[in-house]
Structure 1
């Protein structure tokens, strides 16, 4: 539905990953001898530092090739986790976060990411069959690549068995951000799928057009409330990190200071400049915080007002015109799912 797609697109936009992470993931799709991540390149000395006890350059290069294989297998594993989640969502096999007491058939929901890729390949055909074919073919390609890398790994692992734990730990550490990015993508697929299921359950009660509009407005207000709250918390967190980090203010290259021969006056002017700059920085931070809090309070108030108006209206309606208790429960479950989804996105922003 349009409403579900809106939530899905919003969560996806919120979770944009860095170019560095995207670059790692793109490497899964490239099979060339030059497909070497920056941290394992010869120009980067971090790999050599972890095996610094080796004197043989040839052995270092052989271990570097082994590290590249481990890097690729780790990426493929992550990519398979993500695309298996896409497959489960698209074939109705995804585990629901909420208790599913009824016998509603699990819907098929292909994530936006899959639909976009399929539409590039065949713009006029993005139905379930096309999405299923695309995803299964891609998973097969990943399996083939994994087999090739696994074969290489198995052939060489006995030669370098003493170094493997160190290399594996190093590679996994370097790919920590990539792993977190994939986990976030997987979590968002779950939140979107749950939202879709809850929406279908709500629609099964045949709400009127007016009731649908009411829910849509409440959902939008709830989303704005959640986003501004998390933006405020994120800003506070980043400010706390900034304040805890030792920073030094650089003085402008002011010729006037150098012309002052009296060192005490020169130092006094420097101190005044630093004090003014520090105060200006504090004032700016406070302005950011105040603006973010004002926006958060505004959207919280708007949601509470809309909710109160809805509740008052409900009480004045005859029973056959009201939202029944099951519909209210589903609305609240969607809000909880939406809130959890937004928190998930911002959790990774904090990390």
Structure 2
């Protein structure tokens, strides 16, 4: 029986039914994916060599992919929670903590979604931008929560079916994800948060300046 094609670490999670439908597809595996797979196999083989566990590398990789997806979703949730705090004026930043202007600033991605929703609205009742922005973000966070719970349930089911997956094995998997597979996602999030912080505080500074009602000569 031919082995199942390896998925890229960048692929989003798909359930078993989708996976069966895509079984014949050739998943694009980059050099980066190949290196990650080689590193994962080495780490796991080193770990298993000191145990009597008979669990397969393929099963451990499936568990690792699920944990990797869980970690990705948690990073995305962190970003969207910052969106919510910024838009509702609850983000504590160096500038927001010392200003008395309205602190609610929706980040540009949410502003664009608000404009799109308003342009697509066919109802006579139009929500204000602040309320609509909060609805958009909360809806997305709900989707992420549901996806997270589904993946965690799948992980727990697979783990229960995999005799020999110990707490130490799980620890090795999570450590691999933190040290290797998640690094690029964490770096991207850090960059996005830095840009968000700069733009947010810049908007608050502008509001503070305008609140002072400057003359044309200022």
TM-score by length of 2: 0.70
> Given that residues 114 and 129 in structure 2 are in contact (C-alpha distance below 8 angstroms), is that contact kept between their aligned partners in structure 1?
no
The aligned residue for residue 202 of structure 1 is 209
1:109 paired with 2:109, answer: no
2:41 corresponds, among 37, 48, 52, to 48
- Bigger radius of gyration: 1
| Superposed displacement of residue 60, structure 1 | 1.4
For residues 172-197 of structure 1, the C-alpha deviation after alignment (integer angstroms, 9 at most, x for no partner) is 22221210110221222222111111
> Given that residues 93 and 106 in structure 1 are in contact (C-alpha distance below 8 angstroms), is that contact kept between their aligned partners in structure 2?
no
Q: 1:76 to 1:99 in 2, by over 3 A?
A: closer
1:27 paired with 2:33, answer: no
Q: 1:174 to 1:37 in 2, by over 3 A?
A: farther
1:170 paired with 2:176, answer: yes
2:84 corresponds, among 62, 87, 99, to 87
Report the number of matched residues. 185
For residues 10-54 of structure 1, the C-alpha deviation after alignment (integer angstroms, 9 at most, x for no partner) is xxxxxxxxxxxxx94x737x66536x895667x943322222355
For residues 78-97 of structure 1, the C-alpha deviation after alignment (integer angstroms, 9 at most, x for no partner) is 00000000010111111021
2:70 corresponds, among 68, 73, 97, to 73
- SS of the residue 2:45 aligns to: coil
Q: 1:84 to 1:37 in 2, by over 3 A?
A: farther
The aligned residue for residue 123 of structure 1 is 119
For residues 58-90 of structure 1, the C-alpha deviation after alignment (integer angstroms, 9 at most, x for no partner) is 611111110011100100110000000001011
Q: 1:57 to 1:47 in 2, by over 3 A?
A: farther
Kindly indicate whether structure 1 or structure 2 has the higher relative contact order, using CA contacts under 8 Å at least 6 residues apart.
Answer: 2
Q: 1:209 to 1:57 in 2, by over 3 A?
A: farther
For residues 110-157 of structure 1, the C-alpha deviation after alignment (integer angstroms, 9 at most, x for no partner) is 111122244445535682222211110000011111111222333427
Q: 1:159 to 1:146 in 2, by over 3 A?
A: farther
CA-based RMSD of the aligned residues comes to 3.4
The aligned residue for residue 62 of structure 1 is 59
For residues 319-340 of structure 1, the C-alpha deviation after alignment (integer angstroms, 9 at most, x for no partner) is xxxxxxxxxxxxxxxxxxxxxx
TM-score by length of 1: 0.46
Q: 1:108 to 1:169 in 2, by over 3 A?
A: same
For residues 232-279 of structure 1, the C-alpha deviation after alignment (integer angstroms, 9 at most, x for no partner) is xxxxxxxxxxxxxxxxxxxxxxxxxxxxxxxxxxxxxxxxxxxxxxxx
> Given that residues 55 and 164 in structure 2 are in contact (C-alpha distance below 8 angstroms), is that contact kept between their aligned partners in structure 1?
no
Q: 1:57 to 1:119 in 2, by over 3 A?
A: farther
Matches of 1:58 and 1:101 in 2, distance apart? Answer: 56
Q: Which runs of no fewer than 5 residues in structure 2 stay unpaired?
A: 1-8, 122-127
| Larger helix percent | 1
Matches of 1:37 and 1:88 in 2, distance apart? Answer: 38
Alignment of 1:224-263 (within 5 A): none
Q: Which runs of no fewer than 5 residues in structure 1 stay unpaired?
A: 1-22, 212-351
